[in-house]
Amino acid sequence: MFYRESGDFKTSYAADQQTFPIRFDRIVVALILVCAFLVVPFFINDYWEKSILLPFLVWSLAALGLNILTGYCGQVSLGTGGFMAVGAYACYKLTTGFPDLNIIFVILLSGGITALVGIIFGLPSLRIKGFYLAVATLASQFFLVWLFNKVPWFYNYSASGQITMPERSVFGTAVTGSAATPSATYLFSLLFVVVFAFIARNLTRGRLGRSWMAIRDMDIAAEIIGVPPLQAKLSAFAVSSFYIGLSGALFFGVYLGAVEPTEAFGIDKSFLVLFMIIIGGLGSIFGSFVGAAFMVLLPVLFKNIMVGGFGWPTDMVQHFIFMLVGGLIMFFLIVEPHGLAQLWRVTKEKLRLWPFPH
């Protein structure tokens, strides 16, 4: 009833192609943002920060990045973990090399460095497609993690081989290191995620996004109508790696504080992010967030219900969660192979017409 387009007339093309064409959507998004920025920071505690909100934000950013590459440009990649490691190590090297450089720039630069690395590993995509490309990107996953283990320069010759984030602050408030408060780290990550989600939306709706989608849907036709495949594919790799690098830097710097590459950026992380976008919805910004929420938050929810609610032993619950989440993944993919975002789109279409569906 409230979810209507009728009466909401668009009189200019600018209004017609805005991000949230329906007024109700605009209000809801604005409310969520206000809540996230102005309400949540006052109530956030250590548990909510470390187990729920930060992982969700960090993985959303990674999913957003992979979705640009795989969902919008159609290039399958299994190198996400490796690229996150690049972001993390770039962040570490930059901030220890230039301690006075503001952490915001450090993280942005880490994204930039990852983008360059992404372009290099994206070069094979000009020749190979689909599963073969996935295997080629797998090489980057193993090579990069091996590199960060092997070359001591990357971890500043520390004895343990780990990297540890020193304390850095923005406007006098610590956002990394042990002194950072939950609300500071949360707001810092949230800011990155919100800003870059809007940037992703802008990139995907304009010329660049269309050239990516054209390559995805029919690469030969795309080239013939004037999309340079080299530029389109490599820009997708660059932008996607930039996002994944940001998420890697936040993952290491803000969320974990200290990482060891083999464990933190293994192949399982690449698959995790790939599952997020498949379940959330390929080629959808919203889908990246839903997918990240699904993969990160559901296990936490189940754990709380089973351990906290029923008082079951933790190890048993752990196995139970694997089965439950696995089952749910299958369920949602059978119900809607195009992901949760598509499910939501269909629901919205039905809502718009309700109660007269014909």
Partner 1 sequence: MNSTRKFGDPILSVNNISLSFGGVKALTNISFDILQGEIRAIIGPNGAGKSSMLNVINGFYHPQEGEVWFDGKLRGSLRPYEIARQGIARTFQNIALFKGMSTLDNLMTGRITKMHANIFWQALWKGKAEKEELMHRERVERIIDFLEIQAIRKTPVGRLPYGLQKRVELGRALAAESKLLLLDEPMAGMNLEEKEDMCRFILEVNDQFGTTIALIEHDMSVVMDIADRVIVLDYGKKIGDGYPDEVRNDKDVIDAYLGVAHD
- Residues that bind partner 1 in the complex, under the rule CB under 8 A: 13-14, 17, 199, 202-203, 205-208, 210-211, 213-214, 216-218, 220-229, 235, 239, 283
Residues 75, 61 contacting (CB under 8 angstroms):
no
Which amino acid, residue 215?
A: I
Least distance (Å) between residue 216 CB and partner 1: 7
What is the spatial distance between Cα 89 and Cα 108, in angstroms, rounded to a whole number?
13
Q: Which is nearer to partner 1, 69 or 165 (CB)?
A: 69
Which amino acid belongs to residue 170? Answer: V
Instruction: Provide the minimum distance between the beta carbon of 191 and partner 1 in the complex, in angstroms, as a whole number.
Output: 16
Q: How far is the CB of 214 from partner 1 (least distance, A)?
A: 5
Q: Which residues on adjacent β-strands are paired with residue 173?
A: 170
Beta bridge partners of 163: 259
Give 258's strand partners. 164
Q: Which string of b and e fits 292-321 if b means at least 16 CB within 10 Å?
A: bbbbbbebeebbeebbeeeeeeeeebeeeb
Q: How far is the CB of 230 from partner 1 (least distance, A)?
A: 9
DSSP notation for 30-98: HHHHHIIIIIHHHH--HHIIIIIIHHHHHHHHHHHHHIIIIIIT------HHHHHHHHHHHHHHHHHH-
For partner 1, the closer of residues 3 and 142 by Cβ is: 3
The tokens describing 215, both together, are 């390559």
The residue (of 8 and 217) whose beta carbon lies closer to partner 1 is 217
Nearer to partner 1, 144 or 277 (CB): 277
> What is the smallest separation between the CB atom of 350 and partner 1, expressed in angstroms?
16
For the CB of residue 327, give the shortest distance to partner 1 in the complex, in Å: 29
Q: How far is the CB of 201 from partner 1 (least distance, A)?
A: 8
Distance of CA 300 to the CA centre of its chain: 18
Give the nearest distance from C-beta 213 to partner 1 in angstroms. 5
List the beta bridge partners of residue 174: 169
Question: How far is 251 from 245, CA to CA, in rounded Å?
Answer: 10
CB of 231: closest distance to partner 1 in angstroms?
Answer: 9
Render 273-338 in DSSP notation, one character per residue.
HHHHHHHH-TT-HHHHHHHHHHHHHHHHHHHIIIIIIT---HHHHHHHHHHHHHHHHHHHHHH-TT
CB closer to partner 1 out of 10 and 150 = 10
**Minimum CB distance to partner 1 smaller for 187 or for 236:** 236
How many Å apart are CA 221 and CA 201, to the nearest integer?
A: 25
Q: CB neighbours of 120 closer than 8 A, spacing ≥ 6?
A: none
Nearer to partner 1, 117 or 234 (CB): 234
Nearer to partner 1, 1 or 14 (CB): 14
Q: Which is nearer to partner 1, 221 or 258 (CB)?
A: 221
